[in-house]
Amino acid sequence: MEETHSSAHCESAHARRCWWASPAGQALIAAEAALVTEALEDVFGWECLQIGAWGAGRELLAACRTRHRAVLASPGLSADADIIGRPTQLPVSGDSIDAVLLPHTLEFATDPYAIVREVDRVLVGEGQLLVLGFRPLSLWGARARFSRSGFPPGLRRVLSERRVREWLALLGYEVFAARRYLYRSPWGGGLAAGEGADRLLRRGLMFPLPAGAYLLKARKQVYTFTPLRLRTRKAMLGGLVKPAPPVRPGFRRTP
């Protein structure tokens, strides 16, 4: 049983690498690299981590402005990865990463929410998270659902933008930027290698199709608790008037 699972994983990884090398794969990754470059313009710090291989090299993080950049991938997916490991069990210290990129990583995982929780563990306060995903209500989402082996190969499910937003809200993240892109068909000659990124990232008169993918940009919020200071009620000016002592029956108070 274990050998069968390992063989299936190798076949899926090989099919995905072949798709990355195809004209459609190269065009999509080049367009997403331009999109991520724009999204990372305001990301600074020491560490940026890409979880999940997407492409043959490090195209998505090429223009990242952090001091260090690293790619974590599962075994067999990328020879250029810095870290080999599971996205649900990152070999990374907590609160040590300034920015995390998930390039369609959640859609290939058996437990995508576990990856989101693990990302929350390693991100520093006010750290940024970028998520790339395909839209279910699009031609790309339709082909992914009706393809026997997934599309791109190995894709398990298509997660809506709304679902990812809900997960991030549960963990206290603020989604402060969103972008939809990929206005081309996944069938036939919808994508061609060397095609300009603008045609894939922006809707045109010749390509009125709905967007096939989205980019979410979120920030990890840190809440601080301010202790309440109890205020004492000040005494009235002049103080309170003391009541006169009661008079006993049979006695009269002398002046």
| Domain span holding position 23 | 2-220
Residue 92 CB partners (closer than 8 Å, separation 6+): 49, 83, 122
- Residue 74 CA neighbour count, 13 Å, CB half: 17
The yes-or-no verdict on residue 77 having pLDDT over 50 is: yes
In a domain, 240, yes or no: no
pLDDT the model gives residue 1:
46
Amino acid at 16: R
Considering only residues 255 and 113, tell me which one the structure prediction assigns the higher pLDDT: 113
- 191-214 pLDDT, tens digit each: 665 556 677 787 766 667 789 999
- 32-63 pLDDT, tens digit each: 999 999 999 999 999 999 999 998 888 999 98
The yes-or-no verdict on residue 236 having pLDDT over 50 is: no
In a domain, 146, yes or no: yes
In a domain, 176, yes or no: yes
pLDDT the model gives residue 171:
96
**Percent of the chain as helix, strand, coil, to the nearest 5:** 30, 20, 50
> With b meaning 16 or more CB within 10 Å and e meaning fewer, what string describes 121-156?
ebbbeebbbbbbbbbbebbbbbbbeeeeebbbbbbe
In a domain, 228, yes or no: no
Q: Cα-atom radius of gyration of the chain, to the nearest Å?
A: 29
pLDDT the model gives residue 255:
53
SS3 245: coil
The yes-or-no verdict on residue 115 having pLDDT over 90 is: yes
Q: What is the CATH number of the domain that holds 118?
A: 3.40.50.150
The yes-or-no verdict on residue 4 having pLDDT over 50 is: no
| Number of compact structural domains in the chain | 1
Per the listing, tokens 């090299």 go with 57
Task: State the average pLDDT over residues 124-145.
Answer: 95
Q: Which of 66-80, 86-100, 229-243 has the largest mean confidence?
A: 86-100
Listed range (4-18, 91-105, 233-247) with the worst mean pLDDT: 233-247
In a domain, 170, yes or no: yes
Listed range (69-78, 207-216, 240-249) with the worst mean pLDDT: 240-249
Considering only residues 150 and 4, tell me which one the structure prediction assigns the higher pLDDT: 150
The model scores a pTM over 0.85: no
